[in-house]
């Protein structure tokens, strides 16, 4: 455990030194706050765009606060996912390519600790950024539209947070299987997109797929319930553990790149 | 006392055999050089010893551990080019390495300052590693390999990437260290091995061609050698050319050597008498006839160039 | 919903604008001071300035050569 904490603290220090711990929360806050503001100002923006004959009255129905927050989640589901993939794409491959993994893994370090400490650091920074960003979205929605019940907001936060963590884990998995960091990010995002699409195309067959998490988070907001979430949550946890196990296996098999 | 026993260690990559069933033992307190030309399988052997590479077959047994057990806690390793976190300071990296080896925060701190002093980078301890020179990184790499007082220090080509001064300094450090711990280091330079080591393992094409204590190898493989030099007149040169084409039975091997020849011989007395006679008879104007012995370098060259 | 005045809206948005400026500024300073960029400096400056939110993100993710 002590050794795990040493590894985790090193990851944490790296997040600070590489300034990820500053820019990622800031970007998430902007991302979260932008959607309610844009939605609020949309009628004005359209009205000022010109091209409108004098006296045109634009009727845009005011969206419900929960819908605005659900749209905010969609922002996190695109740009947010991209950012998570970008910060975790070099987690394992970066150390392996630079040779630092070889320096560390000749010491009596458990391979599992090495991977899980990195994973925990990614999940931590994701959680911090997402809580702040979603909090900002919730605050601006409340200020500009209406307050969304905190229980629903919290429920959707947990569901969507799990989806984000799942993508972070996938990126770590691919960064331990592939040499190139960019390829790892690309594959993880591609897998996320495929999962989401497949889940919406085949809702019955993939009722338990992690791809449902984003939809469940929205449902929690708009209807107050996310029915059938427990199996999905369970499967997602199983997938996360399996992905970590494969990463550990891959690292144990290839601790460094220069084999000769 | 035996520290490490390796038996039938083999590694194949695809179809090529990088290490081919080698076996050796390392005794406690010895300094062992793994010597061989590039591509002989030195690095592959070392990576298997450190656990970074799984052997295709064979056995690595460390004293106090079951064969094949995880013995990483008793080895310290410095790769050919140490890879360090550029965003850490030297001190941070060293403490991190120590804590990973199970030292307490306090112990790691104490070991760290001692080692930084010892390898001579104490003044740069609080600077980012990204700004270190190659020599400084090598020293920090050495310090991190020593942080947990390993029983066996494994170094892969520790001096080959350094300039002559850095090389000298690291060699001096190793000379001190061999008083304290067992060292195995690989090199392709015979001189480095001869200078520092008690034992030497000469590798060629994935096998150990010669292995043992340096002094013993030197004695065992010592052969008498005759060095003959002649004046460069027509007659003497013709004679030598003819003579080398069909040398007498006592000559084991010959090699041309500037204005003469080096002859490895079997019976030094017979060789001396007979050659002297022939030289006088043919009136060869020789300038030098010397009797000596083969050096380790002759052996190394013989082993390495043997086909 | 139109109960919010222009001023109040500005007050709400101001911290966000400040954050956006901060982000741009931090990445600009890092970009200008960095000696080890992936590609020409001027390109990154333009990306940061023109790419509002995604510009700094791209710079942080790909701009600096990791050491």
CB contact under 8 A, C22 and A26: yes
Q: Best mutation site among C30, C36, C65, C67 for testing chain B: the one with the most B CBs within 10 Å?
A: C67
Of A12 and C61, which is predicted with more confidence? A12
Query: Rounded to an integer, what distance in angstroms lies between the CA atom of residue A190 and that of residue A207?
Result: 20
- Least confidently predicted of A203-212, B150-159, B160-169, B200-209: B160-169
B290: left (phi over 0), alpha (psi -120 to 50) or beta: beta
Which of A5-19, B108-122, B226-240 has the lowest average pLDDT? B226-240
Spell out the SS3 assignment of chain C. Answer: CCCCCHHHHHHHHHHHHHHHHHHHHHHHHHHHHCCCECCCHHHHHHHHHHCCCHHHHHHHHHHECCC
A150-164, A165-179, B164-178: least confidently modelled range: B164-178
Task: Assess if residue C1 is contained within a domain.
Answer: no
Contacting residues of A for B60, CB less than 8 Å apart: none
Of all residues in chain C, the one with the smallest CA distance to B129 is: C67
B237-270 tens-digit pLDDT: 888 888 888 888 888 888 877 778 888 888 888 8
A21 Rama sector, left if φ>0, alpha if ψ -120 to 50, beta otherwise:
alpha
| Closest residue by Cα to residue B154 from B31, B242, B261, B272 | B31
Q: Read off the tokens for B92.
A: 């941070």
Q: C66 contacts in A (CB within 8 Å)?
A: 90, 94, 98
Q: Maximum CA pair distance of chain B?
A: 82
**Would you call A5 an interface residue with chain B, using a CB distance cutoff of 8 Å?**
no
The pLDDT of B119-125, averaged and rounded, is: 93
State whether B82 and A105 contact (CB < 8 Å): no
pLDDT above 50 (res A259): no
List all chains that touch chain A, counting a touch as 3 or more CB pairs closer than 8 Å: B, C
- Pairing status of strand B75-78 against strand B199-204: unpaired
Q: What is the DSSP letter of A50?
A: S
| Rounded-to-integer distance, Cα A184 and Cα A88, Å | 9
Which pLDDT value is given to residue C23?
Answer: 93
Range in A43-47, A161-165, A231-235, B126-130 the model is least confident about: A43-47
CA contacts within 13 A on the Cβ side of B237: 7
Chain A residues with CB under 8 Å of C61 CB are 83, 86-87
**Out of B75, B82, B87, closest to residue A103 by CB:** B82
Contacts of residue B29, Cβ cutoff 8 Å, sequence gap at least 6:
B182
Mutate which: A16, A108, A114, A258, vs B, most B CBs within 10 A: A108
Mean pLDDT of B266-286: 86
Four-residue CA torsion sign, A62, A64, A65, A70: negative
Supply the mean pLDDT for chain C.
85
A161-181 pLDDT tens trace: 999 999 999 999 999 999 999
Rounded Cα–Cα distance for residues B184 and B34 (Å) = 7
Question: Searching chain C, which residue's CA lies closest to the CA of residue B86?
Answer: C67
Whether residue A109 is predicted with pLDDT greater than 90 in this model: the reply is: yes
Closest CA to A8 of A95, A116, A83: A116
For chain A, say whether C57 makes contact (Cβ under 8 Å).
yes
Q: Which residue has the higher pLDDT, B263 or A69?
A: A69
> Do the Cβ atoms of B54 and A108 come within 8 Å?
no
Instruction: State residue C67's pLDDT score.
Output: 46
A178-192 per-position pLDDT tens digit: 999 999 999 999 999
Alpha carbon distance A146, A34 (integer Å): 16
Q: What average pLDDT does this structure show over A89-107?
A: 93
What percent of chain A stands above pLDDT 70?
A: 95
Q: Which residues pair with B204 in a beta bridge?
A: B207
> Which residues of chain C make contact with A19, given a CB cutoff of 8 A?
26, 30, 60
Give the integer Cα–Cα distance in Å for B190 and B58. 28
Over chain A, what is the mean pLDDT?
92
Residues on chain B touching A104 (C-beta within 8 angstroms): 100
User: Across the interface, do B96 and A99 touch by the CB < 8 Å criterion?
Assistant: no
B86–chain C nearest CA distance, Å? 5
- Write the burial class of residue A18 (CB in 10 Å: 0-12 exposed, 13-18 middle, 19+ buried): middle
Contact (CB, 8 A) for A162 and A233: yes
Residue that has been written with the tokens 């970007």 in this structure: A27
Cα–Cα distances (Å) from B138 to A103, A125, B79, B89, in that order, read: 13, 34, 9, 14
Instruction: List chain A domain ranges.
Output: 14-259
Question: Would an 8 Å CB–CB cutoff place B186 in contact with chain A?
Answer: no
Residue to test with chain C: of A18, A24, A25, A26, most C Cβ within 10 A: A26
What is the predicted pLDDT for the residue at C1?
46
Q: Given an 8 Å threshold on Cβ–Cβ distance, is A98 in contact with C12?
A: no
**pLDDT digits over B36-64, tens only?**
888 889 999 999 999 999 999 999 999 98
- What is the distance between the alpha carbons of residues B190 and B300, in angstroms, rounded to a whole number? 8
Q: Is A107 on the interface with B (CB under 8 A)?
A: yes
**pLDDT interval class at A50 (50, 70, 90):** low
For helices A150-177 and A213-223, angle between their N-to-C axes, nearest 10 degrees:
170
| C40 domain residue, yes or no | yes
> For B168, how many CA atoms within 13 A lie in the half-sphere containing its CB?
3
Q: Is pLDDT of C4 > 80?
A: no
List the single residue in A19, A29, A143 with the smallest CB-CB distance to C19.
A29
Mean pLDDT of chain B: 89
Contact of A13 with chain B, judged by CB distance below 8 Å, is answered with: yes
**Taking CB atoms and an 8 Å cut-off, how many pairs form between chains B and C?**
3
User: pLDDT-derived band of residue B274, with 50, 70 and 90 as boundaries?
Assistant: confident
Among A108-112, B3-7, C33-37, the least confident range: C33-37
Q: Which chains have at least 3 CB atom pairs separated by less than 8 Å from chain C?
A: A, B
Residue A30 and residue C27: Cα distance in Å, rounded? 15
pLDDT of A258 reads 60
**pLDDT for the residue A118:** 97
Residue B49 touches partner A, C-beta closer than 8 Å: no
Laid out side by side, the sheet with B260-265 consists of: B251-257, B260-265, B224-230, B286-293
Nearest to A122 by CA among A150, A154, A153, A94: A94
Cβ <8 Å between A27 and C66: no
| Proportion of chain B above pLDDT 90, given as a percent | 48
Q: What is the pLDDT of residues B98-114, one digit of tens each?
A: 999 999 999 999 999 99
Amino acid A251: pLDDT: 94
* Distance spanning both ends of chain C, measured CA to CA: 52
Alpha carbon of B144: minimum distance to chain C alpha carbons (Å) = 19
Residues of the domain holding C33: 6-63
CB contact under 8 A, A3 and B100: yes
Best to test chain A binding among B39, B99, B138 (most A CBs inside 10 Å): B99
Give me the residue from B13, B52, B148 closest to A102, CB to CB: B52
Mapping DSSP onto H, E and C, the string for chain B reads CEEEEEEEEEEEECCEEEEEEEEEEEECCCEEEEECCCCCCHHHHHHHHHCCCCCCEEEEEECCCCCCCCCHHHEEEECCCCCCCCCCEHHHHHHHHHHHCCCCHHHHHHHHHHHHHHHCCHHHCCCEHHHCCHHHHHHHHHHHHHCCCCCEEEEECCCCCCCHHHHHHHHHHHHHHCCCCEEEEEECCHHHHHHHCCEEEEEECCEEEEEEEHHHHHHHCCCEEEEEEECCCHHHHHHHHHHHHCCCCCEEEEEEECCEEEEEECCHHHHHHHHHHHHHHCCCCEEEEEEEECCHHHHHHHHHHCC
Containing H/E element for A120? helix A111-144
The reply to whether residue B85 touches residue A100, judged by beta carbons under 8 angstroms, is yes
The token duo for A234 is 């369970």
- With the CA atoms of B197, B198, B203 and B209 taken in that order, what torsion angle do they form, in degrees rounded to the nearest 10? 150
Q: Render A203-215 in DSSP notation, one character per residue.
A: TTTTTT-GGGHHH
Q: Is A138 helix (H, G, I), strand (E, B) or coil?
A: helix
Interface confidence (ipTM) of the complex: 0.90
Phi, psi angles (nearest 5°) of residue B181: -145, 170
Q: What is the 8-class DSSP label of residue A255?
A: S
Shortest Cα–Cα distance, A23 to chain C (Å): 7
Whether the CB-CB separation of B184 and B18 falls below 8 Å is answered with no
Calculate the CA B249 to chain-centre distance: 35
**Contact (CB, 8 A) for B67 and B61:** yes
Closest-CA residue in chain A for B103?
A3
Q: Inter-chain contact B101–A108, Cβ cutoff 8 Å? A: yes
Q: A147 — contact with chain C (CB < 8 Å)?
A: no
Task: For A60-108, give the secondary structure using H, E and C.
Answer: CCCCCHHHHHHHHHHHHHHHHHHHHHHHHCCCCHHHHHHCHHHHHHCCC
pLDDT value at residue B234: 85
Taking CB atoms and an 8 Å cutoff, what residues of chain A touch B97?
107
How many domains is chain C partitioned into structurally? 1
pLDDT for C66 beyond 70 = no
Would you say residue B273 has pLDDT above 50?
yes
Structure tokens at A79: 């740009």
Both tokens of C49, joined, read: 């300035």
- What is the C-alpha to C-alpha distance for residues A77 and A216, in angstroms, rounded to an integer? 13
* C53 has a pLDDT exceeding 50: yes
CA-derived radius of gyration, chain C: 16
């Amino acid at each position: 455990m002590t050794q795990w904490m040493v590894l985790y603290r090193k990851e944490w220090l790296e997040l600070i030194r590489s300034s990820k711990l500053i820019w990622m929360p800031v970007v998430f806050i902007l991302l979260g706050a932008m959607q309610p503001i844009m939605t609020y100002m949309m009628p004005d923006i359209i009205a000022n765009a010109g091209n409108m004959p004098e006296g045109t009255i634009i009727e845009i129905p005011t969206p419900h606060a929960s819908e605005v927050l659900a749209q905010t989640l969609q922002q996190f589901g695109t740009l947010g996912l991209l950012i998570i993939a970008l910060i975790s794409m070099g987690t394992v491959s970066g150390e392996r390519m630079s040779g630092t993994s070889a320096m560390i893994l000749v010491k009596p370090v458990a391979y599992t600790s090495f991977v899980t400490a990195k994973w925990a650091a990614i999940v931590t920074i994701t959680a911090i950024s997402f809580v702040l960003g979603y909090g900002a979205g919730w605050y601006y929605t409340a200020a500009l539209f209406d307050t969304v019940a905190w229980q629903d907001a919290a429920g959707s936060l947990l569901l969507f947070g799990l989806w984000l963590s799942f993508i972070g884990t996938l990126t770590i998995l691919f960064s331990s299987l592939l040499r190139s960091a960019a390829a790892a990010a690309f594959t993880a995002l591609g897998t996320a997109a495929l999962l989401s699409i497949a889940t919406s195309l085949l809702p019955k067959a993939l009722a338990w797929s992690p791809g449902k998490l984003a939809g469940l988070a929205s449902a929690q907001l708009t209807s107050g319930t996310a029915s059938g979430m427990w199996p999905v949550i369970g499967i997602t946890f199983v997938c996360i553990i399996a992905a970590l196990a494969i990463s550990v296996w891959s690292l144990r098999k290839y601790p460094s790149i220069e084999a000769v | 006392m035996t520290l490490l026993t390796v038996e039938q260690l083999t590694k194949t990559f695809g179809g090529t055999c990088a290490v081919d069933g080698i076996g050796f033992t390392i005794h406690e307190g010895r300094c062992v050089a793994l010597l061989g030309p590039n591509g002989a399988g030195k690095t592959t052997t070392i990576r298997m010893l450190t656990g970074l590479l799984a052997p295709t077959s064979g056995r690595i047994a460390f004293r106090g551990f079951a064969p094949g057990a995880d013995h990483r806690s008793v080895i310290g390793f410095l790769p050919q080019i140490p890879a360090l976190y550029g965003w850490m300071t030297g001190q941070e990296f060293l403490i991190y390495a120590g804590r990973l080896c199970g030292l307490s925060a306090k112990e790691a701190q104490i070991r760290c300052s001692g080692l930084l002093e010892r390898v001579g980078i104490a003044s740069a301890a609080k600077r980012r590693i990204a700004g270190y020179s190659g020599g400084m990184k090598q020293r920090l790499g050495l310090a991190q390999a020593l942080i947990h007082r390993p029983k066996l220090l494994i170094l892969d080509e520790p001096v080959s990437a350094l300039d002559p001064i850095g090389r000298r300094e690291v060699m001096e450090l190793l000379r001190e260290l061999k008083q304290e711990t067992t060292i195995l280091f690989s090199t392709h330079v015979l001189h480095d091995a001869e200078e520092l080591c008690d034992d030497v393992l000469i590798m060629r094409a994935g096998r150990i061609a010669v292995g043992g204590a340096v002094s013993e190898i030197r004695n065992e493989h010592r052969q008498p050698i005759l060095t003959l030099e002649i004046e460069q007149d027509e007659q003497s040169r013709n004679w030598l050319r003819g003579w080398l084409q069909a040398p007498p039975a006592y000559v084991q091997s010959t090699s041309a050597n500037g204005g003469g020849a080096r002859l490895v011989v079997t019976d030094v007395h017979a060789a001396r008498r007979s050659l002297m006679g022939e030289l006088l008879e043919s009136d060869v104007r020789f300038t030098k006839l010397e009797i000596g012995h083969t050096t380790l370098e002759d052996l190394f060259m013989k082993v390495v160039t043997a086909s | 919903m139109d109960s919010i005045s222009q001023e109040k809206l500005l007050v709400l948005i101001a911290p966000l604008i400040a954050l956006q400026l901060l982000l741009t500024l931090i990445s600009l300073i890092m970009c200008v001071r960095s000696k080890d960029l992936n590609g020409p400096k001027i390109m990154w400056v333009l990306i940061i300035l023109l790419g509002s939110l995604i510009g700094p993100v791209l710079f942080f993710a790909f701009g600096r050569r990791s050491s």
